[in-house]
């Protein structure tokens, strides 16, 4: 897993940012130009601390569920970052998801509910117009179905998208697609959720992480990254 810092604390703060839908750090963003996604693109370019997987072992270590979900609604959340007259700034976005299938679950992970809310990135408000402000790699559209990697959160929403680029639109044949150039996102594209599940099931994790897998969500991520750092393995790009 890569971030722009070796510190696990930075990673946890980045995840907390997503889980709380722009409740704090977004006020420092320049929103005069929307951070819209243009394919192919680096799925974590818009938020430097956002998690990014190095390989499939990262997916297995840091994900609780690989599921198929449909976005059924969106709403604003937290307009505290708006300033000026007329108002400008960022508005948090919440998306409501319905679980249609759980293809893979980490042993011991809490059950994924049939419906849940999660951070849907944010909007940038400029000249009275709301534009997408994308941090997670993909603007999840209402009415669309995605395969997504989810992790239990200890802060804010109960579930969050595990990493940048960790949501894949499904094509007409039910296979994953991605606009990302992130290596893992590209590697999983073209597969069905079931094929991804089989791949994750067959992927070993490093010995130093085995005894940490019973930890919950962010606690597990922080512990694994600390163990990795102690061995001299980089947590950055």
62-104 pLDDT per residue, tens: 999 999 999 999 888 877 777 877 778 888 888 999 999 999 9
Average pLDDT over every residue of 29-50: 40
Q: What is the pLDDT of residue 52?
A: 65
Average pLDDT, the chain: 76
H runs (alpha helix) in the chain: 8-19, 56-62, 183-188, 193-201, 207-210, 217-230
Helix (H, G, I), strand (E, B) or coil at 54: coil
pLDDT of residue 59: 93
Interatomic CA distance for residues 130 and 124, integer angstroms: 5
pLDDT in tens, 9-18: 334 434 444 4
Predicted local confidence at residue 100, as pLDDT: 96
pTM to 2 decimals? 0.77
pLDDT at 155: 57
Distance CA 150, CA 109 (A): 11
- pLDDT exceeds cutoff 70 at 4: no
pLDDT digits (tens, 9 = 90+) for 153-174: 765 567 888 887 788 999 999 9
Look up residue 58 and give its two tokens: 């990262």
162 vs 210, which has greater pLDDT?
210
- Evaluate if residue 39 carries a pLDDT over 50: no
121: closest CA among 78, 88, 155?
78
Taking residue 69's Cβ as centre, other Cβ atoms within 10 Å add up to: 27
| C-alpha dist (Å) from residue 194 to 99, 111, 113 | 15, 18, 19
Q: Is the pLDDT of residue 133 over 60?
A: yes
pLDDT over 90 percentage in the chain: 36
Per-residue pLDDT band at 136 (split at 50, 70, 90): low
More confident residue, 185 or 19: 185
């Amino acid at each position: 897993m890569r971030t722009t810092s070796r510190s696990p604390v930075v990673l946890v703060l980045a995840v907390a940012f997503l889980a709380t839908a722009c409740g704090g750090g977004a006020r420092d963003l320049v929103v005069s130009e929307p951070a819209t996604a243009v394919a192919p693109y680096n799925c974590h370019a818009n938020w430097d601390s956002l998690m990014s997987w190095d390989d499939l072992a990262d997916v297995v270590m840091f994900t609780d569920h690989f599921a198929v979900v449909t976005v059924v609604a969106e709403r604003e959340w937290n307009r505290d970052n708006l300033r000026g007259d007329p108002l400008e700034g960022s508005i948090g976005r919440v998306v409501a998801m319905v679980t249609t299938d759980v293809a893979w679950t980490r042993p011991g992970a809490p059950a994924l509910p049939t419906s849940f809310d999660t951070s849907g990135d944010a909007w940038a408000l400029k000249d009275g117009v709301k534009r997408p402000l994308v941090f997670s790699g993909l603007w999840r559209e209402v009415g669309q179905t995605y395969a997504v990697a989810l992790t239990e959160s200890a802060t804010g929403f109960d579930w969050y998208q595990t990493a940048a680029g960790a949501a894949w639109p499904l094509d007409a044949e039910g296979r994953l697609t991605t606009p990302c150039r992130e290596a893992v996102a590209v590697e999983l594209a073209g597969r069905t959720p079931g094929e991804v599940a089989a791949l994750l099931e067959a992927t070993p994790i490093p010995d130093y992480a085995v005894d940490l897998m019973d930890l919950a969500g962010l606690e597990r991520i922080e512990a694994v990254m600390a163990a990795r750092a102690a061995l001299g393995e980089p947590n950055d790009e």
